[in-house]
Amino acid sequence: MTTATLGVEAIGSASAAIEAQYRARTRSSRMLYERAVHALPGGSTRAATFYPPYPVYMARGAGCRLHDVDGNEYVDCLNNYTSLIHGHAHPRIVAALADQIARGTAHGAPVEAEIALAEALTSRIASVDQVRFTNSGTEGVMCAIRAARAFTGRSKVLKMEGGYHGTYDAAEVSVDPRSDAPEWPAGRPDGPGLSPGLSGEVLVTPFNDLEVATAVIDRSRRDLAAVIVEPMMLATGAIPATDAFIRGLRAVTQEAGVLLIFDEVVTLRLSYGGGQEHYGVRPDLTTFGKIIGGGLPIGGFGGREEIMALFDARRPDPVMLSGTFNGNAATMAAGRVALDLLTAEEIARINELGDRLRTGLERVADDAGVPVRATGMGSLCHVHLTRDPVHNYRDVARARQPAIMSSLHLALLNHGVFAASRGTYSTSTAMTEADVDAVVAGFGAAVGSRGTT
């Protein structure tokens, strides 16, 4: 039995054959991984990029194509976990980087490009008066939460169960709780090394359940500094917020005097003014990352001027924020060009490609008799092995089949499709309809569909 004729029901029993084909195609990657385990714990410096038996190692990227060290080519539907919205090595971004690198990458002093990128963000996003840059979305979240606590004088934060906001301690609560997790609002630190005290400071509520969220906010308003939420929970499974939920959160937080933080590290790509423009909601603070760096490490946060004024170094008691590479010249130059390229027209085009992708994946899966729900919106997508509705973390948890997803991921790689092992896909401006159709065809082959597009 070959991977081209497998349905999802048979992938588990054919996992050995799928893995054998993967190993035969990726011998150089295996050699690099065997070398890596001696210098890196588990052979990796980034948990998300590891998958068994070993990850494929890439040699180069161009547009929406990746080429691994064994010469295999892939359509890139991962785009470095959605950060490369213009694909790989876009000529204008490369030129901007080359020009800046020739003049230095970081100077220990501000540069004009920092102002230009900040102005680009404040002009696009109605709720953002001022911004500060960091080096990751994790740091942007950390600083936004610190700002909320400093502004309100309160310590607690409310997040959504399953919501991923990076690896800051206060964000790593109930991102992936066990099935026996208690009912809300008690949160649970997700792993070793995290303070057990987080359970008292970080409250949790189910995504898309306004009734529970309202009750928790009302009970905790005297101690609650902020609610942090993604307009669409990507890492959990590309679950969009309902209009009623996201607008209701804005109303209840305003009434309670609690700040609302939108984590737009991923969702900024959904509209010209981000996910908040799509929903017609203005949060108090917004966190950024991924697409605003032009492919280089970046993060940031911004919001109302009266809150951001806490970071004004001219104050006698500012909230301190520094970082050796914050606002470095290379990232600022690349990010400014990346935002220039991300016009409203291009966003609409890649959103349409996302619609085509979700529809196509469900169609070929249905043709193969495989239960698949492709969630998401715009240029973001996630595949779940279920036909049941997916509204929150627990819906995703009930549908999980990790062994099947692992084998499906290797089967996709064997068919030239590079996506996240957990099932996340994204479209980029480097893609055309033909590229999306190639991904759909590869997915159809992996699940044993007779359809191709």
- Structure tokens belonging to residue 11: 């992938």
- Structure tokens belonging to residue 35: 């070398």
* Composition of the chain by helix, strand, coil, percent to 5: 45, 15, 40
d(CA 310, CA 31) in angstroms, rounded, equals: 51
Q: Say how far residue 393 (Cα) sits from the centre of its chain.
A: 15
247-254, Cβ contacts within 8 angstroms, sequence gap of 24 or more: 247/279, 247/280, 247/281, 248/210, 248/213, 248/214, 249/210, 249/213, 250/281, 250/282, 250/283, 252/210, 252/213, 252/214, 252/217, 252/218, 253/217, 253/227
Look at residue 428 and give its three-state secondary structure: coil
d(CA 163, CA 67) in angstroms, rounded, equals: 32
End-to-end CA distance of the chain: 23
Identify residue 350 by its one-letter amino acid code: I
d(CA 173, CA 309) in angstroms, rounded, equals: 29
Cβ-based neighbours of 143, under 8 Å, separated by 6 or more: 132, 134, 301, 321
Backbone angles phi and psi of 329, in degrees to 5: -60, -40
**Are the C-beta atoms of residues 159 and 229 closer than 8 Å to each other?**
yes
Identify residue 291 by its one-letter amino acid code: I
Sign (positive/negative) of CA torsion 137, 139, 145, 150?
Answer: negative
What residues are annotated to the active site? 164, 263, 290
d(CA 338, CA 429) in angstroms, rounded, equals: 11
